[in-house]
Amino acid sequence: MLSRSWKNLDEVLDTFAQKKGEPGNLHETLQYIVQTAKKLSGADVCVIFAINPITGQFISPPVIEGGLLSEDNALIYELPKEGLAQQVLKGGGLLVEDIESTLDYHSKFNHAEDIRSFVALTLCKRQDQNPLGVLYLHYRQCQVFSPEDHNLFQLFTDQAAFLLQETWLLLRYQEVARIGQDINHDFATADILFQKLQKGIPDIVDTQHALLLAVYQQGTHKTELHMEEEGRSLFYEHIQGGACDYVMKTQQPVFIESLSLEARDLPFQIARVEETEPKEAYIFVPLVLRETSLGVLSIQHPQAYVYTQEDLSILQLLANHIALALNNISQYETLRSLHETGQLLTQQLDSGDTLQVTVDKIHEATQADLVVLYAYEPTRQHSVSPPSFAGKLLNTSSYHFLHNNQPGDMADLLFHKTQSIFLTESQDFFCQSDSSTVQARQCAFQYNEQVQSTALLPLHVGDELIGVLFVHFRQQQNFDNLQKLFIEGLAHYASIAIRNAHTFDTLSQRRARDLATLQNIDHELNSVLDLKHILTRLLELACERVPTEGASIWLLKPRTKILELMTSIYRHSEGRRTPQNPMQDTQGITRWVAEHKECARVANVHRDAPWRDLYVQMMPDTLSELDVPILNEEEVIGVLNFESTREGAFRQEDEDFLQTLAGQAVLAIRNAQAYEREKRLAEEGRVLNEISKEIISQLEDHSHVFDLILEKALDLTHSETGVLMLYDAERNDLWMAAEHGVFEEVKGNRHSLHQGVVGHVARTRELLNVDLTQAPWNDVYLDYIPDARYELAVPMLAGPELRGVLNIESSSPYNFTDRDERLLKGLADLAVVALQHAELYAKAESDAKRFSLLYQAAATLSEISEIEQLEHAYDIILNLAATYKQNRVILRRYDSSSRQLILTRQYQHTDLVEQLALDDGVSGLVAREQQTISINDIHYLPPHLPEVKLDEKTNRSLVVVPIRFKESFYGTLGLSHQKASYFKETDIKFFEGLAHQLGATIYRLESEKRAQELEKLSAIGHFAFELTHRWDNDLGLVKSHVNNINAELATMGENNITITRELDNIVQGVRNVLNWSQDLKLVAASGSAIDKVEITSIKTLFTELQQQMRSFCPSTIDVEISLADDLAQVEIIPRLIADCLRNLIKNALDAMHQRGTLRLEAENNEEAVAIRVTDTGVGIPEEMLEKIFELFISTKGSSGFGLWSARTNALKNHGTLEVKSIVGQGTTFTLLLPKAKHCTS
């Protein structure tokens, strides 16, 4: 039982009575219902699905109260789609105590939420009304519902339905207000209004079958119909009769619940619209505003009793908004038509067509049947006949009435009226006249043309009578205020159009006379091109047409916006004035006209505001003034100024004439200015050409060209003073290369880049054309001449590089022009060209000197043929390097054995280090990198020379060049000077050329010496081969002869021991000679054609030597081998080098007498690999060192073939073999072999 939860009936009623919140808020209402239901029913989950009572559709989303077990909220949305919901809607409610008792109520939602019992209730006020929603009460425990619970559920349903019904009603009222705002937001058409209603009304009443909007047209008495029926849009231009006519006439709504039952009692007959289906239920609501019927709004349904009084009330509320919208649309259309027609009328200037065009447009705009216009002729004080009319006449006799106007008829009567007359019934008016004849004619016209209503309007512009307008309607008009205002507005525009046409005729005649005058002026202006003459003649001709005591023409300078007086004419005693100072004041009527680009015609310059405050006296006794701007499109060129001593002397036609004259003068002024510009350009071109010729002819003396450039710049710009300053990059300042007119004390001054206008231009590299009286230039300016007013400075640029500044100054009140800027830029460019030509000439001379010295060096060095003359080569290079730039010169020779740079020569002697290691000084760095190093200032070393120790620091500029040729490095050539940045790129190239020639000479001498030695060795080898050949032939018989002697002695029985011993000595001696012979043969045969040069690894060579040494190296000798890790490969004949090393090793072993240390080393040495063989033997006496490699020279009594052969093989491999020895300590032989090109270890 749930009665404990519900408690009693009073609690339910009190709960709903206490409901609070925003009225008409559907979500709040639904939330309140489910919260109340959960509280009173004790349900675990309450869900309500609202239904739109208009459309019958469920509104999403539902409102839920209570905790859900499942996270899948989509299951909730399935409830309205189940058959259970339809069952509830039909039956009004359903109470299920135990879901498990029947399978009909199983659902995914019930299963997911563990629901055991539920109550489903339809929220509906009455059984015959549309439901407002479905309320579900879910219980997770089985429930037992008593009859009392049933009653309480029904009571809760009624109260909730009532609350929802009230909310929906408020929502409908709110929607009506929203639709009202929407349709009255802008002035649309009736068609757009109906489209908005189609979108908005379905939310407040049922329009799914038919919605109708009838709009009544006041002027034509037609009713147009907009309709949507079963989803189709229909439109009819005119409907008659039926319910709409009845509702508009009675201005009362009609509510038909069932046409079948009520048709007989209706005071009208329902007229079914074409192409529509018959309907059963209808609501018609009149659209009324200020007791005027504007149309009808209707909804229709094929079923009876579907509409309620609520729907009628809603439509009546909405009808008020629609009526207001239709009224706004009507007013807007009327005003728009009035505006458009008025524009068309006032644009007509041809009086011949104006009257007919006027009546045609009024006929079209008012939709009248006949419009008649009588124009008034002031001289005759009578209407002009025939009148102009528009429309179709029904009777031909009406033509006679219109074309034969008589005194006393309607038109004449209206000439004396000032107010318009609107007659809804015009019969009485037409039949009124003092003349019976006139009365009869007017009545006949009214009868024949069936005129029912007439608007009669006198046409005035101010107090001037223009004519009379008749607007006739064959259908009776109400002439409401809007229609009256519309017709009167059209009449006003018609008056203005007719008046404008008359005025245009008068002006056209005047213009024709002015045109003839202007043609004469144009002919005279085009006959000359001189600007001064043109302006003067223009002013003279203008003064003939416009009465004036004084006139002037002012031209505007484009850059400064200053008005410059060009010419003037003043009558009486003053005569013609000459141009005076420019007009710079912000005041003055002429200045105002130039700034605002508008004419100024002032009747009294001392009294009329605002001109009395602007006036500046230019002529005595001036009272009136006329100023006209001279405009080229929107650009002001100048001002025409006319003054008079008479008040109000100038008329509108004078202003118009001068405006036309100003427009005509523009072309003449432009042509004259173009002519002046061309003259100046021609003069400038001639000057530039003259300067160009001077540049070509003055290659050595560019100062003359600079003087000429400055002279022409001052002459062509009419300036008093100027300077041409050149930029000194080393000192980063400017120096005066040419000047004219400057103070004596400033001549020759140097200029910082932070001083004056010139310094600013040099710093920014941008042109400046400035007024020196204005900030900031008045503080920056440096005094060169007294009272300087303007300064023009142009940078002299060679690409981005600053070369100088060309500067001119003027005390004139006129600023420099764009033409002056262009001229000065051109002259600055020529100055740069002159400077470049001079530099190129100097460079050519320097190049010639450099090439001559290099040629002299090559020729002198080529005469040196022996290595012993190398010292002379050093002297040659030293002298040439010193002669070229008069700088200090240092020559250092590289000693590969000590790896030091040895001071060899120097020019301008100072104390220097004799021997310099490769890790000391700039020379050491050059030796290591073998690249030229140039230092512009030793006080500001480049970033890559932070730790370099300098040889000396007295000089600031330093260049060190490596002396090398091919892969060989021979030393350094150093040059220095006390001046910073002394050496240019061309100088460095020259010194590199000298160093290259010295390196090539050393290489050549060494190569020639090596060739001579090889040639000598070749000759010795050939001689040795011939000698050993003879020894083999001749000494080979000695043993045979000895054997024969021994045999003969034996035969003789002689046994002499002495003879036998001597014979053995002879044989042993011969054997020794033959052994030497074999050695000589081997040396002579070495380097044969079968040997090939190969790229060989020293490590591989040493490995083979180690294997061979095992056979001849005693164990008592300690052998040490040291090979560098980065050892390069060599390009050699492997057999010869192996033989060379074996000879050196054997020689070392012999020197140590079976005890000592043999050390074998190999390391990279510059462009070679150094192999050292060192022993700890007896050493070689110093006197033997120089001839130790000669043939047959030996310290141990041998043939000397070993060392002679070793050196021979070294030379054949383009290497060298050197020896160092200390007697008693040991000897070191160093073999230098060339590295293989493009190969590493």
Q: What is the DSSP string of 846-864?
A: HHHHHHHHHHHHHHHHHT-
Which of 1012, 1042, 1070 represents a domain boundary (last residue)?
1012
Assigned token pair, 896: 């590969």
Give the three-state DSSP class for 49: strand
The verdict on residue 699 lying in a domain is: no
1227 pLDDT higher than 90: yes
Q: Are residues 82 and 106 in the same domain?
A: yes
Is the pLDDT at 114 greater than 60? The verdict is yes
Q: What CATH number did the domain enclosing 1098 receive?
A: 3.30.565.10
> What pLDDT sits at residue 526?
64
Highest mean pLDDT among 66-75, 83-92, 1075-1084: 66-75
Q: Which of 691-705, 903-917, 1136-1150 has the highest mean pLDDT?
A: 1136-1150
CB 1049 within 8 A of CB 1056: yes
Prior bond of 946 cis (ω within 30°): no
pLDDT at 9: 52
The closest alpha carbon to 738, from 730, 726, 754, 753, belongs to: 726
Q: Tokens in use for 274? A: 């074409």
Highest mean pLDDT among 36-50, 508-522, 696-710, 909-923: 36-50
Q: Which of 983, 1012, 1041 is the last residue of a domain?
A: 1012
Is the pLDDT reported for residue 283 higher than 90?
Answer: yes
Determine, yes or no, domain membership for 1175.
yes
Which of the pair, 483 or 1198, is modelled with greater confidence? 483
Q: Which residues contact 939 (CB under 8 A, 6 or more apart)?
A: 956, 980
Task: Look up residue 1214 and give its two tokens.
Answer: 């383009």
HEC secondary structure over 1137-1197: HHHHHHHHHHHHHHHHCCCEEEEEEEEEECCEEEEEEEECCCCCCHHHHCCCCCCCCCCCC
pLDDT tens per residue across span 1131-1178: 898 888 888 898 889 888 888 888 899 999 999 887 889 999 999 998
* Burial annotation 1081-1115 (CB, 10 A radius, 16+ → b, else e): bebbebbeeeeeeeebebeebbeeeeeebeeebee
Give the model's pLDDT for residue 347: 61
d(CA 360, CA 340): 14
Per-residue model confidence (pLDDT) at position 579? 40
Check whether residue 405 and residue 364 sit in a common domain.
yes
Position 433 scores a pLDDT of: 62
- Amino acid 260 reads S
Q: Which residues contact residue 855 at a Cβ distance below 8 angstroms, ignoring those fewer than 6 apart?
A: none
Domain-located, residue 1060 = yes
- Tell me what pLDDT residue 281 has: 93
Mean of the per-residue pLDDT values of the chain:
80
Please report, for residues 79, 271, 1039, the alpha-carbon distance to residue 1208 in angstroms, rounded to integers and kept in the order given.
Answer: 115, 139, 34
844 belongs to a structural domain: no
Q: Based on the domain organization, do 378 and 427 belong to the same domain?
A: yes
The whole-number pLDDT of residue 581 equals 43
Over range 198-210, report the average pLDDT: 87
C-alpha–C-alpha distance, residues 559 and 817, integer Å: 7
Considering only CA atoms, give the Rg of the chain. Answer: 63
Question: Looking at the domain assignment, is residue 402 inside a domain?
Answer: yes
Residue 921 lies in a domain: yes
**In the predicted structure, residue 12 carries a pLDDT above the cut 80:** no
- Shared domain for 18 and 152, answered yes or no, is yes
- Report the range out of 214-223, 676-685, 779-788, 1224-1233 with the highest average pLDDT: 1224-1233
SS3 of 511-525: HHHHHHHHHHHHHHH
Domain shared by 1215 and 1120, yes or no: yes
* 157 or 378, higher pLDDT: 157
Res. 13: pLDDT tops 70:
no
Q: Are residues 826 and 894 in the same domain?
A: no
pLDDT digits (tens, 9 = 90+) for 1042-1091: 777 777 777 777 677 777 777 777 766 666 665 555 555 555 555 544 57
* Domain total of the chain: 8
Specify whether the CB–CB gap between 1151 and 1158 falls below 8 A.
no
CA–CA dist 716, 754 (Å, integer): 29
Question: Quick check: 191 and 226 in contact, CB under 8 A?
Answer: yes
Res. 607 pLDDT band, cuts 50 70 90: very high
Per residue in 845-873, pLDDT (tens digit) is 777 777 888 888 788 888 887 877 888 88
For the cut 60, the answer to whether the pLDDT of residue 248 exceeds it is yes
CATH number for the domain harbouring residue 748 = 3.30.450.40
495 and 451 share one domain: yes
Q: What is the pLDDT of residue 603?
A: 93
Residue 796: domain span: 713-838
Q: Tell me, what's the pLDDT at 170?
A: 84
The pLDDT of residue 643 is above 90: yes
pLDDT of 5 reads 47
Q: Which helix (H) or strand (E) holds 282?
A: strand 281-289
- Chain segment 739-753, per-residue pLDDT in tens: 887 777 677 778 888
Retrieve residue 739's tokens. 């000047």
Pairwise CA distance, residues 854 & 989, whole Å: 11
> 1208, 1082, 1220, 1077: which is closest to 1137 by C-alpha?
1208
1025 and 957 in a single domain? The answer is no
Q: How high is the pLDDT of residue 151?
A: 85
Confidence band, pLDDT 50/70/90 cuts, at residue 427: low
Does 670 fall in a domain? Answer: yes
Task: Give yes or no: residues 722 and 773 share one domain.
Answer: yes
* Distance between CA atoms of residues 892 and 901, nearest Å: 6
First to last CA, the chain: 106
pLDDT of residue 641: 93
Cα pseudo-dihedral 39, 42, 44, 49, rounded to 10: -60
**Residue 573 predicted with pLDDT over 50:** no
Same domain, 323 and 383: no
In a 3-state reduction of DSSP, which class is residue 1120?
strand
Question: Would you call 133 helix, strand, or coil by DSSP?
Answer: strand
Range of weakest confidence among 814-823, 1008-1017, 1029-1038:
1029-1038
pLDDT of residue 1019: 60
Q: What is the pLDDT of residues 307-355, one digit of tens each?
A: 988 889 889 888 888 888 888 777 777 767 666 666 666 665 555 677 7
> 962 pLDDT exceeds 70?
yes
pLDDT > 70: percent of the chain? 80
* Amino acid 435: pLDDT: 67
In the structure, what pLDDT confidence band is assigned to residue 169 with cuts at 50, 70 and 90?
confident
- pLDDT-derived band at 404 (thresholds 50, 70, 90) equals low
Greater pLDDT, 1241 or 160: 160
168 — pLDDT class (breaks 50, 70, 90): confident
**Using CA atoms, how far apart are residues 413 and 407, in angstroms rounded to an integer?**
9
| Residues 502 and 358 grouped into a single domain | yes
533, pLDDT greater than 90:
no
At 575, is the pLDDT very low, low, confident or very high (cuts 50, 70, 90)?
A: very low
Q: What is the dihedral of CA 651, 655, 658, 660, to 10 degrees?
A: -130
Which of 678, 704, 730 is at the close of a domain?
678
> Quick check: is 862 in a domain?
no
Q: pLDDT at position 527, please?
A: 61
Q: How far is CA 692 from CA 233, 727, 737, 820, 828, in A?
A: 87, 22, 18, 19, 12
* Average pLDDT of the segment spanning 640-665: 87
Residue 373 has phi, psi (to 5 degrees) of -125, 120
Higher local confidence (pLDDT), 22 or 386: 386
166 shares a domain with 22: yes
